[in-house]
């Protein structure tokens, strides 16, 4: 059985508050009583750390890596040059 609670988190990169639904069952899976949740914000990811009362203990913003598509693109161009 899962129970959804709404939390408010602030993303420094967006400069905005977000309301997010959190499945309470993720808290019971944590051994430390603190869980981290990642939210996709397009070109970056907001990670928030919640304790068992769903209080936000901290948050961090991480950039997504975009460079990993270069190699397949170059291979595809080689293919078309050859045929």
Does 41 help bind Zn ion (rule: CB under 5 A)? yes
Q: Which residues of 37-65 are buried (b: 16+ CB within 10 A; e: fewer)?
A: beeeeeeebbebebeeeeeeeebeeeeee
CB 60 → Zn ion: shortest distance, Å? Answer: 11
Does 38 help bind Zn ion (rule: CB under 5 A)? no
CB 49 → Zn ion: shortest distance, Å? Answer: 16
Through-space distance between the first and last CA atoms of the chain, rounded to whole angstroms? 57
Does 49 help bind Zn ion (rule: CB under 5 A)? no
Binding site for Zn ion (CB under 5 A): 11, 13-14, 41, 46
């Amino acid at each position: 059985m899962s129970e959804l609670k709404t939390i408010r988190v602030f993303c420094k990169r967006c400069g905005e508050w977000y309301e997010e639904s959190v499945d309470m069952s993720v808290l019971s899976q944590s051994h430390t009583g603190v869980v981290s949740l990642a939210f996709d914000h397009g070109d970056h990811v907001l990670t928030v750390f919640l304790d068992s009362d769903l209080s936000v203990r901290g948050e961090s913003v991480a950039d997504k890596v975009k460079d990993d598509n270069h190699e397949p693109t170059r291979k595809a161009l080689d293919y078309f040059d050859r045929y």
